[in-house]
Amino acid sequence: MGTFPPATVPPPAALIGLSRVPGLSGVQVDGSTFVVGPLTTHREVHTSTDVQRLAAALSEAQGRGRWRWQRARA
């Protein structure tokens, strides 16, 4: 089995961080609809009062996954 990426592919000349691009993280609410940005953390979704109000199951699922992961690491 080979390595990934293949050894013939040169490393990138630069890496671009997206964490400071506005609008890519967080939860935006418009009435009864909300949008979770692609860089939003599980913790942000779990602790968002808007997500808890509009989609409690999603908020709870995010919290369960986080705690299960922490227990597995311990």
| Residue 43: per-residue pLDDT | 86
pLDDT digits (tens, 9 = 90+) for 52-67: 888 888 887 776 655 5
DSSP conformation class of 11:
P
| Domain-embedded: residue 15 | no
Neighbours of 51 (CB within 10 A): 22
| Domain-embedded: residue 8 | no
| Domain-embedded: residue 4 | no
| Domain-embedded: residue 1 | no
Report the predicted TM-score, pTM, of the whole model to 2 decimal places.
0.61
The CA distance from 38 to 61, in Å, is: 17
- Total domain count, the chain: 1
| Domain-embedded: residue 13 | no
| Domain-embedded: residue 61 | yes
What are the structure tokens assigned to 18, written together? 């997206």
The answer to whether residue 42 scores a pLDDT higher than 90 is no
The CA distance from 23 to 12, in Å, is: 26
| Domain-embedded: residue 19 | no
What are the structure tokens assigned to 12, written together? 């990138």
| Arithmetic mean of pLDDT, 42-59 | 87
Domain coverage including residue 67: 27-73
Residues 13/23, Cβ–Cβ less than 8 Å: no
